[in-house]
Structure 1
Amino acid sequence: MKILVTVTHLLGVGHLNRAAAIARALAAAGHDVTLASGGMPSPLLDSTGVTVVQLPPLRVKGAAFSHLLDETGETALPAHLAARAAQLVTTLHAVRPDVVITELFPFGRRALAAEHLALLKASHAMMPRPLILSSARDVLAASRRPERIALTHDHLRAFYDAMLVHGDPAVLPLEASWPVDAGVAPLLHYTGYIDDGAASAARSDGTEIPGGEILVSGGGSAASLPLYRAAVGAARMLTDHAWRLLVGAGVSEEDFRALGEAAPAHAVVERARRDFPALLARAAVAVSQFGYNTAVDLLRAGTRAVVVPFEEGGETEQRLRAERFAGEGLVTVLPQGELSADRLAEAVRVAMAGPEPRAATIDRSGLDRSVAIIEDLAATRHVAAIPSSASRGATPLKAAGPLRWAALDDALKRRADRGAPLDIWWRDDDAVAPTPALDRILAMAAAHRMPLALAVIPGGAGPDLAARLAIETGVDVLVHGFRHHNHAPPGEKKAEFGDHRPQGAMLDEARAGLIGLHALMADRLVPAFVPPWNRIAPALAATLAQPGYTGLSTFKRRKLVPGLTVANTHCDPIDWRGSRSLANPDAILNQLARDIVAAPDDEPIGLLTHHLAHDAAIWHFCEDLIAHLMASAIVRPIAARAIFAGTGPAEAQG
């Protein structure tokens, strides 16, 4: 397979190293892997077997992750960010991957959402669409704002097929740091921790690695400076062991020299080395922060360790991981707020006198498991689906097998044999605002060159939706009721415009909806009324022409209404009365075939979707169905504007 992995490390190099390790494992398994890296270039990056594309770099200072800096340390300008997004999309088109993997997004890198969304939309516009996966570490930073978490979940459900969690749920499940809901849980695949193996036990120049050192490391960023400075002070107090400080590239030359000058004679200060795992394995005590990669290195080495988790700016990731590992008897935790030379020296004395860490049972098979999961998901891309409704007690839909097109193909052939081209139109209901799901339905329509009729709820729509649609082509707007409120009495089928209300009040709302959407997006509006739940009182339908409607659209059997063009939808893939996931695919296709054969030659066949209610199974089915229909020589996609304006084949219906 061709696989595109994207990663941007902003502070240390942990994210880059983890993504690169996965990329190397995929390449070693025989796949063609491209790694698009958006952080600062790392001199220690191992890209064996992988093509690396360097985006215009970004970094941050401290924990200010929303203030992006360019490679010179200046604020990253919009042109710099736009160039990154453009290069990502260009790389996507050049690679044409079977699999796209985004590291951390949508669970982090909110400041880079624009470039990620550009990549995801372009991926969804590709034919065939690649498998899209999110790759995340064991601990995530959850926002205190519920709307941000909801948006993350929306992005995951709208754009992604699955999420790889590189951790061991027996020790640290994702819900310990992130509110996993019923819509996200079925997408999770735990891989175990990513461990790319021990490095060589000797330096590249052949010199032996000393044992019994106190080894201090702090990742690749300048955020580790307080730890290094405390270690220099602690080394002056503990003189019976050699000390070695490995300083990352993110620490400036000036600070690096100052550390070396302040260090006592028995402490070596040098830049980070490739053989760090081997140094770690021979150390008497390791002192470090507790990022993901350091945690895995310590697990492998089994070395006594004092960890000072990074907590600047309210960061909780390293502290949570450190406390869980300490609970397993693997590390000693010194909180960052208590860090000083004295406290560090005492923590090292205690660790050195204590027992060796017990053998860890934490799963470190993450590389092999990641490769296997990715290969399996790619192999079952079009058939594996788990509905988001599982939490409601519904039986999850298992792999349905390849779609059986025979009945549909036979119906299309029968239309062709009688010389009757088939007009297909597509209506999507319940639009109110820009969302990731709306982005996905728009991208799907654009990819298949299929006109889309968006049924917009006037009482909920605003300028943000109008602005989002302004950049689209081939999208018409229909009036979807007024507020989409149910006015039916208890026990009766839901309806906003049923027989339960005064006709005058309903007509006033229908008029207000038409006027409101005309004010918002007159150039896109088609004056056709779509009653919520596809139910409308016959007496009201007969008066819709009065406020200016030219069309009406509901579901299934068409009933002609004087003065209106009536064009209904026929195929809705959602099992509304059961799982609320994908209904039986064979039943859907067989019924669509019957509708195609039975419909008069001048009646368009309508596809009905509800983008806000789709799970992975529904998205995949819709994509496959539209692609199959558009491949038929007799299918003619038709826009709502052509139907309801009286300029298309449905004109005679009025």
Structure 2
Amino acid sequence: MKRLMFYCQHILGMGHLVRSMEIVRGLTKDFQICFINGGEIIKEFEFPAGIEVINLPAIKTDTEFEELQVVDDIFSLTEAKEIRKNQLLKIFDQFQPDILMIELFPFGRRRFSFELIPLLERAKSNASSTKVVSSLRDIVVTKQQKQVKHEEKVCNLINQYFDLLLVHGDPKFVPLEETFSRVSDLKCAVHYTGYVVQEPPMSPVLNDEEKELINSDKPLILVSVGGGRFGHELLDCVVKTAPWLGKKLPHNIQVFTGPFMPEDKFNELQAMAKNSKNIRIGRYTPYLLSYMKKAELSISMSGYNTTMNVLTTGVRAIILPFTGNQDREQTIRAEKLSNLGIVRLLNPNDLQPDYLAFKIINYLEEQPNQINLDFAGVEKTAALLKTLAVKQKVA
């Protein structure tokens, strides 16, 4: 089997890890995989059987994206960077991958150049025949005033180190040119794979409370905010709205705060909800898709993976885009879907319990529009990487 080394660094949420793992899940039949996780470990997160997972000393960012931080204070940031860089080079030399796949870089994660540039130099050295691939979601974070300089750096890095760019989206919905103007200046092959979507688990291992909720005759409203480092104002509003909804609707409300929500905030939400019998608050489930298939309504942010779950299940969705760090990625996605009548859009001014209750009750009486996109991202990624591995062998 061909060997594939996959590098993924999540720094605030968990969307990059979730999408990367779905891609990996589709590659296990054809590749021996070494998966490098540079972000905080999520204890309940399920990796596919048969892959090697190596956790680097974890690095995250503050909520304003201003500085990198170590997750475990055993090391200083400077020490962690040096350890990670050397560990990556050692893994590469031992594993000798036929393909090195790096998620998001160089369109993002350039603050990790301290370890990625040495790794790329090693991969492109004369002693290595490794092909290098960039794995990119549909929408690139724009740098606004610095956009011209940013795109110049991206082009230089892609053209120097990468053999293939895989865009995990559908150009009919969001062409890459919409958020990156210099696609024509990229010298490597560029392929759209379609959207990477999660497959429902064959036999989810649910506890009694989860079984009761999913199998209940009562309809369900599902509320989630990804990793949980942001979106707190949405959860606050939902918890305050629950008593209003309890008088009007028969629905259960299941909230997932995300594994990274601070403990004090999680406890605060539970205390706020203790007198509402129609709402349950949990941290994390690897079976969010099972809940979404059951739900009458999803209330969430508009990250890549949650949005794909909304589109593939056809559930009604009310969406509040993340706008921190002047990031328009989620806003672009949410506005496009709202304009097509597929989701309902929230903005921060809408986060009033009476208004949200009114919006929920009215929306539950409507049917959302559906959209026909390319959702074969996992399968097409696998096919393109298999082709690349054959070319690598011939070369």
Q: Does 1:110 align with 2:110?
A: yes
Alignment of 1:67-466 (within 5 A): 67-72=67-72, 77-125=77-125, 127-144=127-144, 145=146, 146-184=148-186, 187-199=189-201, 203-205=205-207, 207-208=211-212, 209=214, 210=216, 211-239=218-246, 240=249, 241-263=251-273, 264-336=276-348, 338-355=350-367, 357-381=368-392
> Over residues 614-640 of structure 1, what are the superposed CA-to-partner deviations in whole Å (9 max), with x where a residue is unaligned?
xxxxxxxxxxxxxxxxxxxxxxxxxxx
Gaps of 5+ in 1: 384-401, 403-654
- Quick check: 360-369 or 39-48, which moved more? 39-48
In structure 2, distance between residues paired with 1:262 and 1:141: 35
Answer with 135-144 or 329-338: which moved more. Answer: 329-338
Question: Taking structure 1 as reference, are residues 81 and 340 closer, same or farther at Cα in structure 2, changes over 3 Å only?
Answer: farther
Deviation at 1:126, TM superposition (A): 5.3
Q: CA deviation at 1:179?
A: 1.5
CA deviations on 1:10-58 (whole Å, 9 max, x unpaired) are 111110111111112111x231001000000012322212110000101
Residues 19/164 of structure 1: CA separation in 2 closer, same or farther (3 Å cut): same
* Aligned residue identity for 1:304: R
The CA distance in 2 between the partners of 1:76 and 1:305, in whole Å, is: 42
- Residues 7 and 36, structure 1, Cα contact 8 Å, conserved in 2: yes
Aligned-residue offset at 1:328: 3.3
- Secondary structure at the aligned position of 1:182 is classed as helix
Larger radius of gyration: 1
Displacement of 1:75 in angstroms is 9.9
SS at the partner of 1:69? strand
What's the CA shift for 1:201?
7.4
Q: Which moved more, 1:326-335 or 1:117-126?
A: 326-335
1:527-564 deviation digits (Å, cap 9, x = unpaired): xxxxxxxxxxxxxxxxxxxxxxxxxxxxxxxxxxxxxx
SS in 1 for 2:281: strand
Give the C-alpha shift of residue 105 in structure 1.
0.3
- How big is the alpha-carbon RMSD for the aligned residues of Structure 1 and Structure 2? 2.0
The SS at the match of 1:222 is coil
Contact 1:334 1:347 in 2 (8 A): no
* 2:342 partner letter: L
Give the whole-Å Cα distance in 2 for the aligned partners of 1:76 and 1:320.
37
The letter of the residue matching 2:387 is D
Per chain length, whose mean CA-contact separation is higher, i.e. which structure has more relative contact order (CA < 8 Å, sep 6+)?
Answer: 2
Give the C-alpha shift of residue 78 in structure 1: 1.5
Asked whether the equivalents of residues 300 and 320 of structure 2 are also in contact (C-alpha less than 8 Å), the reply is yes
Q: Which letter does structure 2 place at the counterpart of 1:44?
A: E
Distance (Å, rounded) in 2 between the aligned partners of 1:128 and 1:109:
24
Residue identity in the other structure for 2:237: A
1:188 aligned counterpart, secondary structure: strand
What TM-score does the superposition give when structure 1 sets the normalisation length? 0.56
Structure 1 contact 199–276 (Cα < 8 Å) conserved: no
1:8 and 1:291 map into 2 onto residues whose CA distance is 16
The 2-side partners of 1:317 and 1:153 are apart by 20
Deviations 1:190-242 (A, max 9, x none): 00111131235765236241351111000013212111111111212211222
Identity of aligned residues (%): 27
Please tell me the residue identity of whatever aligns with 2:245. L
* Contact kept? 2:158, 2:188, Cα under 8 Å: no
Distance in 1 between residues matched to 2:374 and 2:143, nearest whole Å: 28
Counterparts in 2 of 1:112 and 1:337: CA distance versus 1, 3 Å: farther
State the secondary structure of the residue aligned to 2:184: coil
Deviations along 1:248-267, whole A, 9 cap, x unmatched? 11112221111011012211
TM-score, normalised to structure 2, is 0.91
Q: Cα offset for 1:73?
A: 7.1
Q: Tell me the SS of whatever aligns to 1:52.
A: strand
Note the C-alpha offset of 1:113: 1.4
CA shift for structure 1 position 175: 1.4
Asked if structure 1 preserves the Cα contact closer than 8 Å seen for 2:162 and 2:188, the reply is: no
Residue by residue, what CA displacement relative to the aligned partner does 1:552-584 show, whole Å, maximum 9, x if unpaired?
A: xxxxxxxxxxxxxxxxxxxxxxxxxxxxxxxxx
5+ residue gaps, structure 2: none
Residue correspondences, number:
381
How far apart, in 2, do the equivalents of 1:88 and 1:23 lie?
Answer: 19
SS in 2 for 1:116: helix
CA distance in 1, matches of 2:42, 2:58: 11
182 and 221 in structure 1: CA distance in 2 versus 1, 3 angstrom threshold: same
Secondary structure of the residue that 2:68 maps to in structure 1? coil
